[in-house]
Amino acid sequence: MSPRSQGKQGFAQAQFLRALAGGAPALLLAAYLLSQQAWSIYPKILLLCLAGAAWLGMAWRLRERAEFQRLLLGNVIEGVIAGEYQQRLRRAGPEDLLGEQINRLVDGLHQQRQQALAALSLAENVLQQLDVAVFAFDGQDHLQLANPSALRLLQCEAAQALGRDARSLGLAALLQADTEPLCEHVFPGAAGLWRLRRQAYAMPGQSQDKPAQHRLLFVTDLKQVLREEELQAWQRLLRVLSHEVNNSLAPIASLSEMLSQGLQKQGQGQAISADWRQDAEESLALIRDRARHLGEFVQRYAQLARLPEPHKQRFDLAALLRRLPALLPQARLELSGLGEGELPFFGDPVQIEQMLINLLQNGIEAGGAPLRLQVQAQPLELRLLDQGCGIANAANLFVPFYTTKPQGSGIGLVLARRIAEAHQGSLALSNRPNDPGCQALLRFATAPGSL
């Protein structure tokens, strides 16, 4: 017999013995009073037996009732522990306050559980829809939770990621990184600048005296955070467009008015001087040049606005890089870190080549030749170094049509960055820290499915 069963029987036996002990004085008193009566022995024995039977029957009834209530209460409590709230105590009568209170307690717990489940469902739905990547780690830095945005960065399913430590997932550095500045990091599914936030949390049952070791990591893509910067970029773009169009239309309108007045004079019979004819020819030539310039500007705008979707395929990036010195010999390009083997890449080879040509051309126009291209395979990074004058105004680097070069179009860097982002990569330009010139850094996601 198990100790738990013995405990149950012991409780019922104790209730029975208490009932017997409570009725024993009354039975003894009844036996004494009967012994004082002048009756025959048989009626006395009969009455004493009836009183004893009533005494034992009531004690046994009380025991059974207590045992039934105890079993029912145990079932209710076990149901509550298991999360089932269908069981209720049967009230013995209108005065059974204990049964009423226990039933009210069960109803309250059931309502609280329903509210908690609704809140949990709401939190899960919000977490599933968040664009922010959310990672939850336990005290040993093992991943316990990751929302869909986080799994997209890791390029794996939840079953493959949960339970793994932060180091094997490539997230150990983010758990220790400073959260104040922006963080540049390469995930298997994306690369770029990220904003990090960390928050400690305690698990149920954890001592409040000890600091919580469990941590939440929030990783925000700055394409959402920097929407205000994007708006400012568009405002700068509109200023550049307005300036470019007005520079062409204003002289065209002025010269057209002058020619119109000359033609009116000719129609009225007035003689046209040779100087006016020469001015008219020069004016027409200027109108033709400005119109051609405006047409070229519109063509460049169409080229930027209609960049086609990349036709991705697997190709050898190393072979493409080895062709670059021959494509632009004036760059005097030097390749380093490339090696002799292949470098598999998943993307559009035409667009990737165009992106690299744009960057090389930018370095050539800045007077940075000879250029050097440093290649790193894992994670994939391409660092192009020139020896030019460097960057004077970094705020306008990627503003379309903004250029400081006499023959520049202002769209080369914009197209290069758009191509990089279409291949789950990033492009950053900065001055070289220790040498004159500029460096262009291309970083790409590392997962085979995205390269």
Mean pLDDT rounded to a whole number for the chain: 77
Q: How confident is the model at residue 228 (pLDDT cuts 50, 70, 90)?
A: low
Burial of 163 (0-12, 13-18, 19+ CB in 10 A): exposed
Strand (E) positions, 306-420?
313-316, 334-336, 344-347, 372-376, 381-385
Quote the CA–CA distance of 420 and 351 in Å, as a whole number: 9
Looking at 44-58, 201-215, 308-322, which range is the least confident one?
A: 201-215
Whole-model pTM: value is: 0.48
CB atoms within 10 A of CB 425: 25
Characterize the bridge pairing of strands 183-186 and 334-336: unpaired
Write the single-letter amino acid at 410: G
Per the CB < 8 A criterion, the answer to whether 415 and 307 are in contact is: yes
- Three-state DSSP at 206 gives coil
Residue extents of the structural domains in the chain: 3-87, 130-203+212-225, 230-305, 313-450
Looking at 18-27, 202-211, 270-279, 428-437, which range is the least confident one?
A: 202-211
Quote the CA–CA distance of 17 and 345 in Å, as a whole number: 86
DSSP 241-273: HHHHHHHHHHHHHHHHHHHHHHHHHHHTTPPPP
* Average pLDDT over every residue of 335-356: 88
* Average pLDDT over every residue of 289-313: 70
Burial of 311 (0-12, 13-18, 19+ CB in 10 A): exposed
CB atoms within 10 A of CB 308: 9
Residue 5 is predicted with a pLDDT of 47
Percent of the chain surpassing pLDDT 70: 75
CATH of 313-450, one of 3.90.1150.10, 3.30.565.10, 3.40.50.720, 3.40.50.150: 3.30.565.10
Look up the CATH architecture of domain 130-203+212-225: 2-Layer Sandwich (3.30)
